[in-house]
Structure 1
Amino acid sequence: MMSPSSAGSSPKKNMCQHPVVYRGMRVKCTQNVDDEIGVAFGYINKHLRAAHDEVARLREKDLKNLLSHKKLYLVLDLDHTLLNSARFPDITTTEGYLYEPKQALVDNLKDSLHRLKHMQIMMTKLRPRLFEMCIFTMGERAYALEMAKLLDPQGIYFNSRVIAKEDCTESHRKGLDIILGHESAVLILDDTAK
C-alpha cells in the first residue's frame, strides 16, 4: 500500500485552479465544476462566472489601463434618472391623454414620449434635463463655439450659453458674477479647484 505522500500529489493539488467557468466547465482545462464559484457576469454571457480573486485581478488590470488612458467608469441609473417608464394599466385617467397618437400630443411631449414596438404595454418618457447647462472655458470664444457645435449640434443643451475667457470680469479666473443663475443654484464641474 502506498502512503499518501508516495502516491503523487494530493487531490487538492490535482484540482484545476483556472478561475473562469463557462457552462459549468473550467475554461482552460475543461474540468467540470459542480459548485458555482465566484461572480456571475450574466450581462456579458449568462453562463460566465469568475472566481473572486480573478475578478480582483481583472479589476486591478483594468484600473491601470483606464488610468493610463485618463478615463473612469461612468455608471448611470436608467429608471427615474435618465428616463421613466410606465405600464399602460398603471396610467391614471387624468394621464389618459398619453394614449393619443404622438402628433396629437403637446410639443414638449412629442420628442420625449416613446412607445416601443416590442414593448406594447409600456410607455417611456425621457427625463427632463435637470440643469440649464452652459459651457465656461478659459479658451477663446471661437474655440468654445466650435466645441459647443461638436457637443450639441442642434443647440438644445447649451444654446447661447457659451462663456469664454474674454467674457470674464477677472483675469484668468472663472467667476460666477457673469452667470445669470443665482449662486446658490449653480453647480460647477471643472478639472481645476480654482
Structure 2
Amino acid sequence: MASRKRGRSEFEGGEEEEDFDAQLRKEYTQKVLQQQKLILVLDLDHTLLNSASFSKVDEEERLYLEKIYDWQEKAPKRRKLLHKVESLQVWTKIRPFAFKFLEEASKFFDLHIYTNGREIYAETMAKLLDPTGSLFKGHIFSRDHNCMKAMKDLDTVPGDESITLIVDDSDCVWPKKHHKNLIPVYDRYLFFRSSTGLFGLRESSSLTSKKKDEVATKATLAKLLEGLKRIHSEFFQESGCFAGDVRQTMREVKGHALSGCKIVICAKSQAAHELLWDSCQELGAECVVDIDDTVTHVVVASKQQPQGLELSAQAGKYLVWPSWIHTAHYRCCRPDEAAFLWRKLE
C-alpha cells in the first residue's frame, strides 16, 4: 500500500469515501494480523538518523566528516552510515544498529516511516535506509501527506490503532489520543553540532564534537528492538491473531519491568524529576521522596553528589544514572544495574 495524501478537504461530505476508507483500514489490519505482525510507525530525525544542511556545518566539522566519508569509500563491503546527499544539500548520518534494527523489526512488524519533513526528504532518507524498498514497501509518510500540519496523526497511516506502535523522539508532535501507542526515544541521536541547538544543548554535546559515535550493540535501537519483540510476543501469546489491543499489552509488559523496585529520584529540575518519576511508575516501580531501609534504588541525574544525600549510610542500595530507567523503558524489563552505576553503596 503506497503512501497517500489524506486531506479532509478533498472529501467534503463524503460519507461513501469514509466508509471505503474504513473498509480498507479493516482489510489491511486483518492482513497484517494474519501474518502474525503488528504495525510499527518510525520517526526519522534523531530516531533512525540525523541530518544537517551543508550550510550549517562549519569547516572543522566538515573536515571531520570528509575524513569519515573517505574512510567509508575505502571499505566498500561495509554499509555506509554517513552520506552526502547532494540533491538535498545535506549530510545524513544513519544511527548505528539502524540497518539491523529495521531488518529484525520487519519480521515482527509492518514498517512505516512518518516524518515531519517534506516528501522529497522522506523518500530520500527511506532510500538510504532501505535501498531495495523491501522493508517499508512504500509506507512513507511526511507532512505533505497530512495537509502540511505540524502534528502527526495515525489517521494518515493504514491499519487500526489497536495494533499500531509509534517510535518517535518527540511526543509533542502526536496528539494525546495517540500517546498510548507511543514509545518515546529519550536518547535522541544528535550526531551533528547544529542539531543540539534544537533542544537547548551545547554544540559540545554532539557526537562530532566528541569525535565518537554510539556503539551499535549497546545503542538505543538495540535496546528498543528487544522491547518491541517482547511486546509482540506477549500480544500474540495472549490475544491470538484477531483480538487484543497492543496498547494494553505494552502497558502491562512495561508495568512489570521494575516491579519490586522502590526508587528515590534526585534531579536538578522539577521537570526532570517529574519525568523520571512518571517513567518509574509506568514501569511498575514505587517512587518515594525519602530514603529508608526499604528503598532499593536512587536515580541520580547529576555528576555531582546530591546535597544532603549521605551515600555511605545507605548500604545495599543501587545508585544509578537515569539511563537505567530509559533502558528499562526500551527493553520492557529490568536492566542489569552494573552497566549504569553512579556508585554502588556497600
TM-score over 0.5 for the alignment?
no
**Taking CA–CA contacts closer than 8 Å with sequence separation of 6 or more, which of the two structures ends up with the larger relative contact order?**
2
TM-score, normalization by structure 1: 0.37
Which structure has the bigger radius of gyration?
1
TM-score, normalization by structure 2: 0.22
